[in-house]
Structure 1
């Protein structure tokens, strides 16, 4: 079977999809499977000129929005690049971004297309203050879900909570299959170590949706309580300067290290102790599974896919979003009790190994793919 994995970002980009899909290739390398990866290079901008039409709504109702215009231009670019570079037929296409899936079905109308929806672009834009809930952009982006449902042969997503979210925007939510992301266990190597001062780490794009302002306020509260710690922030983004200024204002800049973007954080994540990320929304939260596989204690917010990964007090700690005091309380629990911290980390590692392994994902995907074998 000739398979195409259609990504949006190039495989080397950070994130849940790129943490999983490139590693599928070696698992599908057999005489029965032939897999290729495809994505839109960053250098491709404003090349596509073909007019775009959707089957279920008229996008031109929203065309006065610059964000919608950019989305449509990206669609045109992806379409142009696909027609330029893909000439061989495929038996099955698995798309991992709405634009990728819609383009693939347009270019290969007779080829089955499976679409995984990994996250919500509109929720990210709302939480990051770039669009208004219920506004033109929100209406356009949520209309895309029904268009995907209409054109794809099968819909998948990464968590039950995100399937519930999608149910408002599709006609048959019960037809959506949930397959959480999977990770190649060989990439994660827990390392025995003893840090005299507890080391917190977070890995994410520095945007408001990730709740890092709440994390800094919680860290300031810890310092006021006399607790020693170091916070390592790996990632970059538009609010980095704002976060650094907040850390200075709160008097915790000396305890906080901003690394910027790092390509393979899993290589040194095992040297830290506790992973913490108070996201305001997460469809799945891949970095929690990755941190668990590094044998780190997990602290997250009770939202989306995070709450499906963490059972509070069993394999990590959950706190309400937007609550720095509750977050500080959770962080303090694992600072003052290293044995409890290790117990949570060990349980988190066990769950991640059993539920988020790449082997499990490969097994589930093969079963689905074989249903489309001619």
Structure 2
């Protein structure tokens, strides 16, 4: 039995990386691995405690420019000391960092205690973040998509020390048998095409792009003397840009075609309630968890051709993928025009792909193989602090190249 310390730094919510960690903890082979959780996220800690997992909640702060929870070297040293105490108290045999931040102190604690450390990255990080986090000192890095791995390998991190493991998606829950019939709640006619999008109301999720595309489709429908109200957008999620996005909808005169559902815990229950399709306006997407969830709910998907999304769905086979705003408009229009033929084909292919390849058991099994691999390596190969300098080398090389070019 190997005791694993799972460390997570994040906001007070359960979203992509938090849900992936909870899924892993639920499916990890407890005959071989015993999890212990350490996080600054109280909501996550409450969930892991409910799972009967030993949990430690602490305040985390980070060294480096631009972090909200900015640390001093004194605070950093206290976190290193705290980590060493936890490792020794629980006789930790392996550390799994679920976001890059905690690597700042855990790579040093792991080095002191001669314990292997695995870091799982759920999103791409800019060069300064890759440097300040120290994540390259990890025994192994798990990237949730090839898109996330690109910059890591370009920095010179050893290819053999990196594994790309796509996230797993939970099987359809029992709540699908009692879906939330939003169409009936809104009083929409049977002819109305109801599309849903899921995500935080922040710039990166691109809800404004969807509203603008909706407005153009609405105007096109009016010009053709068809009922413009035959298209409706359901926005599931909340965030700081809600008022701004609602203002955009009013300015575009489509606020009556948008429903703001707010944050919802059981997204499946909504996606199964008479929704006709799913559309994403994301500007960045490391993996595309909500796209996979929509595919599993057997909805035709329109999504950006970015990040990890094209790694599990293919254009015109299991989704309609676009590259820019005009492409979004064209894909949405194409699906509406040929809905009865195109929608069943896209949704069936996507559901089959996700259900077969992106299971939680597959995800847990692949991560367990990473654990076994790093545990079999000699202690001196576990954590290499010199790798922390890899991003610095890239930065200096860029500066030198820029200077030469300017000269």
Would you call these one fold, judging by a TM-score over 0.5?
yes
Cα separation, 1, equivalents of 2:262 and 2:344: 28
Q: Which structure has the greater CA radius of gyration? A: 2
Structure 1 residue matching 2:308: 3-state secondary structure: helix
CA contact (8 A) 1:15 1:286 kept: no
1:107, distance to aligned residue in structure 2 (A): 2.9
Once the two structures are TM-superposed, the CA of residue 174 in structure 1 deviates from its matched residue by 5.6
Q: Which of 128, 131, 149 is equivalent to 1:163?
A: 149
For the Cα contact (< 8 Å) 1:203–1:287, is it kept in 2?
yes
Partner of 2:200: 205
- Cα distance change on mapping 1:300 and 1:78 into 2, 3 Å: farther
The answer on whether the counterparts of 1:282 and 1:304 sit within 8 Å (CA) in structure 2 is yes
Q: Following the alignment from structure 1 to structure 2, what is the Cα–Cα distance between the partners of residues 71 and 307? A: 36
Q: What is the rounded CA distance, in whole Å, between the counterparts of 2:152 and 2:267 in structure 1?
A: 31
1:118 aligned residue = 122
Pairing 1:187–2:182 present: no
Q: With structure 1 as the length reference, what TM-score do the two structures score?
A: 0.80
In the TM superposition, what is the alpha-carbon distance from 1:261 to its structure 2 partner?
Answer: 2.1
Q: Quote the Cα distance in structure 2 between the aligned partners of 1:38 and 1:181.
A: 21
Once structures 1 and 2 are overlaid, which stretch shifts more, 220-229 or 68-77?
68-77
Which stretch of the first structure deviates more once superposed, 198-207 or 81-90? 81-90
Deviations 1:38-95 (Å, cap 9, x if unpaired)?
Answer: 321359999679x96xxxxxx5xxxxx5x24744469848658756866312111211
**Deviation string for 1:235-277 (max 9, x for gaps)?**
1222211110000000110010112222332332222221111
- Please give the TM-score of this superposition, normalised by the length of structure 2: 0.74
* 2:299 aligned with 1:304: no
1:123-158 deviations in whole A, cap 9, x for unaligned? xxxxxxxxxxxxxxxx5324236x311x21111101
Distance 2:105 2:257 in 1: 47
Task: Provide the aligned C-alpha RMSD in A.
Answer: 3.2
30-39 or 362-371, which deviates more: 30-39
Could you tell me which of 324, 338, 341 is aligned with 1:339?
Answer: 341
Counterpart of 2:359 (choices 357, 360, 366) is 357
Alpha-carbon distance between aligned partners in 2 of 1:120 and 1:107, rounded to the nearest angstrom: 24
1:47/1:225 CA distance change after superposition, 3 Å? closer
Paired residue secondary structure (2:20)? helix
Give, in whole Å, the separation in 2 of the partners of 1:279 and 1:239.
14
Over 3 Å counting, the alpha-carbon distance change for 1:360 and 1:214 in structure 2 is same
CA distance in 2 between partners of 1:351 and 1:108 (Å):
38
Deviation at 1:310, TM superposition (A): 2.2
Gapped regions of structure 2 (runs ≥ 5): 44-55, 184-189, 222-227, 377-407
Query: Which position in structure 1 is the counterpart of 2:270?
Result: 268
Give the paired residue count.
Answer: 340
Note if 1:144 corresponds to 2:132.
yes
Residues 302, 83 of structure 1: CA spacing in aligned structure 2 closer, same or farther, 3 A cutoff? same
Shift of 1:198: 1.6
Q: Deviations over 1:252-303 (max 9, x none)?
A: 1001011222233233222222111121121111111111111111111111
Q: Secondary structure at the match of 1:156?
A: strand
What SS does structure 2 have at the residue aligned with 1:167?
helix
Alignment-derived partner of residue 102 in structure 1: 104
In the alignment, what sits opposite 2:392? none
* Residue 372 to residue 21, structure 1, CA distance change in 2 (3 Å): same
Identify the structure with bigger relative contact order (alpha carbons < 8 Å, sequence gap 6+): 2
- Determine which of 283, 289, 293 is the counterpart of 1:290: 293
Task: Note if 1:7 corresponds to 2:8.
Answer: yes
Distance 2:116 2:57 in 1: 28
Residues 95-128 of structure 1 deviation map (CA, whole Å, 9 limit, x = unaligned): 1111223333333432111011111354xxxxxx
**Alpha-carbon distance change, 224 to 6 in structure 1, aligned in 2, over 3 angstroms:** same
